[in-house]
Amino acid sequence: MREIQKKVLYLHAQNNVEMRISKLTLINWKNFKKINIELPYRLFIVGPNASGKSNLLDAIRFLRDIVKQGGGIQEAVALRGGLAKIRCVAARSNTDITIGVVVNNEDNRPEWDYQLTFNQVGGGIADLRVIVKGEFLKNLLTNEIHINRNIKAEESEYRRGFTHIEQASQNEKFKSFVDFLGDISYLHLIPQLVRDPKSFLKTSKGEDYYGRDFLEKVQKINKRISGSYIKRIEQALKYAVPNLDKLTFRQDEMGIPHFEAIFKQWRGQGVKYQEHDFSDGTLRLIGLLWALQDGTKPILLEEPELSLHSSIIMQLPDIIYRLQKKKTGKRQVVITTHSHEILNNNGIAAEEILLISTDGEEGSRVVAASSLPDVKSYLQYGTPVGNLLVAHSTPKDVNQLSLQFE
């Protein structure tokens, strides 16, 4: 019965939907020598430290960084420290890097098939430069091929330093696909960056929801909409943060924006605090609840459980699902996690979980939780699978770690 209920929730999440990435292909990308995976509307990615959870999300961010204003493939590679930091160490004779995505439309039908292959030229006294080795884009509904570049293409080395999706002169006919990539958002909020008011005055290419520009993002949104978001966050925080009475967002005399909270105390008059006084958990919860409400295109979440009480962590899948239901179209949410509290949630289906495991020198593998026999067995008897999946991702002989300090 429990598995049937989860399947109903999973299937229901496929209706009344927004555009999403339904398939992701990676070749020689960071931890992954070659993977080809499916992505549902809500996806939980589990794996040990350094297995590639963040790097899997970063492949999607990479495409976003190519098309965003001021971006491009040269900038996207530079932000990541150069091609040597991107290429999988298991790459041998073939050193090209490939990222491919299939994007489904609002009717949940595959519409766009895109693949980008790139490498670099130069070295020695010449500067290294990223070049496009292949680029392909097809509309799967009309069968029209919009981009078809390959290594044999008669293009100058200069022109091959740019993708077609980043060039306004080239992408007019597939702008909906480019706009979709550009609207993908990411959250891994670092409380220390939110607390530092000077960070609001700094600019840094590549910063996106780490915290440095979080307050600026809140400030820029329409006040009516932001007020609605903050009111909902305030109501939620009253159940999560003891004695919180009110949450507001305002500018100080220097024009720097702040979150301000009023906490009840025994004298009857509330005490005001700003974000630099908030705990890490409070700041991360505010950022998470804001990000989930702000936007309709895919959002990538890094370990949302950090600094949060286990009673809150257990409810995160339900919060995500309820906010997905409130959208005109359900938003794709992709989450990395180590938390068995999240994965034990009764509403998560096995089809919504991917497990990353390391394969030694051959890079990391990605398997669907639904393909694991012990997971199937647990679900058959209605047993939560969180502890089991975390055990799957536990490094071999990790119990020897503490013994090294005797």
pLDDT, tens digit, for every residue of 341-363?
A: 999 888 888 889 999 988 667 78
What is the Cα–Cα distance from 235 to 241, expressed in whole angstroms?
10
What is the Cα–Cα distance from 32 to 147, expressed in whole angstroms?
26
- The predicted pLDDT at position 401 comes to 74
| Residue 384 to residues 43, 367, 378, 396, Cα–Cα distance (Å) | 17, 19, 7, 23
Chain centre distance of CA 290: 15
The closest alpha carbon to 1, from 346, 372, 359, belongs to 346
What is the Cα–Cα distance from 293 to 336, expressed in whole angstroms?
19
Query: Which two tokens mark 28?
Result: 């020689």
Q: What phi, psi does 286 have (nearest 5°)?
A: -60, -50
Is residue 357 within 8 Å of 367, Cβ to Cβ?
yes
Specify the 3-state DSSP secondary structure of 93: coil
What is the Cα–Cα distance from 1 to 78, expressed in whole angstroms?
50
- The predicted pLDDT at position 3 comes to 52
- The predicted pLDDT at position 171 comes to 85
- The predicted pLDDT at position 88 comes to 93
For the chain, the C-alpha Rg in angstroms (whole number) is 23
- The predicted pLDDT at position 327 comes to 60
Tokens 């990395």 correspond to what residue? 336
- The predicted pLDDT at position 105 comes to 95
Is residue 351 within 8 Å of 40, Cβ to Cβ?
yes
Looking at the DSSP bridge assignments, the partners of residue 104 are 20, 110
- The predicted pLDDT at position 381 comes to 73
Chain centre distance of CA 261: 28
Is residue 366 within 8 Å of 53, Cβ to Cβ?
no
- The predicted pLDDT at position 328 comes to 62
Q: Are strands 333-337 and 110-123 parallel, antiparallel or unpaired?
A: unpaired
Residues with Cβ < 8 Å from 97, sequence gap 6 or more? 27, 28, 29, 83, 86, 87, 88, 117, 118, 119
The closest alpha carbon to 191, from 308, 80, 109, 90, belongs to 308
Is residue 151 within 8 Å of 134, Cβ to Cβ?
yes
Below-50 pLDDT ranges, the chain? 1-2, 4-5, 7-14, 125, 201, 203-204, 206-207
What is the Cα–Cα distance from 208 to 354, expressed in whole angstroms?
25
pTM over 0.85? The answer is yes
Specify the 3-state DSSP secondary structure of 196: coil
Q: Are strands 244-251 and 126-139 parallel, antiparallel or unpaired?
A: unpaired
- The predicted pLDDT at position 254 comes to 82
Cβ atoms within 10 Å of 129's Cβ, excluding its own: 16
- The predicted pLDDT at position 1 comes to 44
